[in-house]
Amino acid sequence: MGHAPDLRESYTLLSPDQLHGDRPLQHAYVREVEGILLPYRRIRSRIDAISCELASSFSRNAALFVYLREGSRRFVQEIAESIESQGLSVRFTPLPLTAKSYHGNTSTGKVVIDETELAAIRNRLNEDREITDVVLIEDIVDTGLTMMRTVHDIGGLRKDPAVNVSICTLLDKPGRRLDTARDLPICYVGFVIPDLFVIGFGLDYNERFRDMDHIGIPTKEAIGRYA
């Protein structure tokens, strides 16, 4: 797997007027963002690299891709576009799975998974016995609580033959990882980031900022406004 850029030791927040040659920050968010951690062009460059890694791993072995919504929807869409634009040989028809443990920026400590969507994944695995791997696509892994539950539940959907479960995440935030989640099978990573509350590119704060083209840090005023 490729080496993910590690931003924990050194990172720079860009202001909206520093996004030269990139997509401008949507006007609605200019006063609500403290700074841009990852501009769109840098995100898309990493997605292109991740897409190549996925194609290298699964051009021959059949894999089922499962994305955790709603946060990873944008990530999944960009992976699909990247695979098509690069002409990569990988079957990418991801299924959705709703798994939640957060409200706003606080973990509830309890993971809730949509049982109907889980059953659809089970049916797919039983219909296609040639599938050897399930790749969970997530926007961010921080405490790892949601991923622990999801990996466990997906891994138990088919025993014969068993499937290998791995994780593809745009952002990895190991500074908040629970000790019990240190061994999560995170195999494909866009960026390793410090312990910052980030929004944009699918990541929301109470449903705000999902459509932002960049990944940034909200202002304290915005956090209070949308709490």
* pLDDT single digits (tens) 23-53: 999 999 999 999 999 999 999 999 999 999 9
Q: What are phi and psi of 163, to 5 degrees?
A: -110, 150
- Binned at pLDDT 50, 70 and 90, residue 133 comes out as very high
Structure tokens at 13: 């927040």
Residue 1 pLDDT > 90, yes or no? no
Residue with tokens 């997906």: 154
Average pLDDT, the chain: 94
Residue 106 is predicted with a pLDDT of 60
Average pLDDT over every residue of 143-165 = 95
Average pLDDT over every residue of 104-119 = 81
Distance CA(185)–CA(78), nearest Å, equals: 22
Distance CA(74)–CA(94), nearest Å, equals: 13
CATH number for the region 40-189 comes to 3.40.50.2020
Q: Is the Cβ–Cβ distance between 34 and 217 less than 8 Å?
A: yes
Average pLDDT over every residue of 67-94 = 95
Lowest-pLDDT range of 11-20, 99-108, 182-191: 99-108
Residue 109 is predicted with a pLDDT of 73
Predicted TM-score (pTM) of this structure: 0.94
Report helix, strand or coil for 102. Answer: strand
Q: Is the Cβ–Cβ distance between 158 and 126 less than 8 Å?
A: yes
Helices (H), the chain: 40-58, 73-86, 115-127, 145-155, 220-225
Distance CA(135)–CA(227), nearest Å, equals: 33
Distance CA(73)–CA(91), nearest Å, equals: 17
Residue 89 is predicted with a pLDDT of 92
Q: CA angle at residue 191 from 108 to 47, to 5 degrees?
A: 110
Among 158, 155, 133, which Cα is nearest to 54's? 133
- Residue 22 corresponds to which amino acid? D
Residue 97 pLDDT > 70, yes or no? yes
Average pLDDT over every residue of 88-101 = 92
- DSSP string of 62-87? -EEEEEEETTTHHHHHHHHHHHHHHT
Structure tokens at 133: 């791997």
Domain ranges (residues) in the chain: 40-189
Residue 61 is predicted with a pLDDT of 83
Report helix, strand or coil for 28. Answer: helix
